[in-house]
Amino acid sequence: MKVAARSYDNSLRAEQAAATRDRIVDAAIDVLSEGADKLSIPAVANAASVSVPTVYRHFPSKAALVDAVYDRYADRIDVAWHDDVPSTLDDYLARIADIFARHERVGPELRTAMSGPEGAKVRRRRMAERLDRVDTVLAGTDLSAADRERMRELLVVLTSSAVQRAFREYLGLGPDIAADRVAWAIRRLTTAPKKTNTKKR
């Protein structure tokens, strides 16, 4: 007579797999922070104290591994928005201060990993997702289609960590003030009065 498998066996196995996956991502961050040229599956396996096949079991390619590092970063700065995607421009702007503050608390290894060439590659690969979100929040504005396209690009740049870093390094301003200035600029740009062609009499 067959004995039914205990239910906790599966949950324990899933927990162990998740812990191994997290350890591999941690290791990838450490390796990436030393330079993009150091990143390889064997190097990550060594840093995580797991076998190369174990890394491949969780991440079928180096690109998948870098995507996981990006996901960790997005979760840390709270822009993953799995179930709480902002739907209006006001909602989007209200979150900038928290995003900037969270970015200030990102560890140096993760920040370095994401600011290098591999981080730039994955940001470009994932940019379509971010632009879709921006399109959603701009849909409720009175901007023309051409101006919405311009504004989506400005929103992506102005809410980036690079802009936050510029506020800090050039002006000595913290994340709250930087977020205030960015939100102010975006509001002014999206509510600027339209020019009318009036002839002088």
What is the Cα Rg of the chain in Å? 22
Which tens digit of pLDDT belongs to each residue from 4-41? Answer: 555 556 888 888 989 999 999 999 999 999 988 899 99
Taking 60 as the threshold, does the pLDDT of residue 195 lie above it? no
Residue range 152-174: mean pLDDT, rounded: 93
Find, among 63, 59, 98, the residue nearest to 78 by Cα.
98
Kindly state the percentage of the chain with pLDDT values over 70.
Answer: 90
3-class DSSP state of 130: helix
Q: Are 108 and 183 in contact (CB under 8 A)?
A: no
Reported pTM: 0.76
Alpha carbon distance 157, 131 (integer Å):
11
Domain locations in the chain as residue ranges: 9-190
What pLDDT does 13 receive? 84
**118 vs 177, higher pLDDT:** 177
What pLDDT does 178 receive? 96
Supply angle C-alpha 62, 159, 90, rounded to 5. 125
Q: Are 69 and 32 in contact (CB under 8 A)?
A: yes
Name 2's Cβ contacts closer than 8 Å, sequence gap at least 6.
none
What the block records as the tokens of 98 is: 């928290």
pLDDT band at 75 (very low <50, low <70, confident <90, very high): confident
pLDDT band at 151 (very low <50, low <70, confident <90, very high): very high
Q: Are 115 and 160 in contact (CB under 8 A)?
A: no
What pLDDT does 201 receive? 47
pLDDT band at 146 (very low <50, low <70, confident <90, very high): very high
What pLDDT does 66 receive? 94
Q: Are 114 and 72 in contact (CB under 8 A)?
A: no
Handedness of CA 38, 60, 25, 81 (dihedral sign): positive
* Domain boundaries 9-190, corresponding CATH code: 1.10.357.10
Alpha carbon distance 117, 109 (integer Å):
14
Alpha carbon distance 26, 69 (integer Å):
8
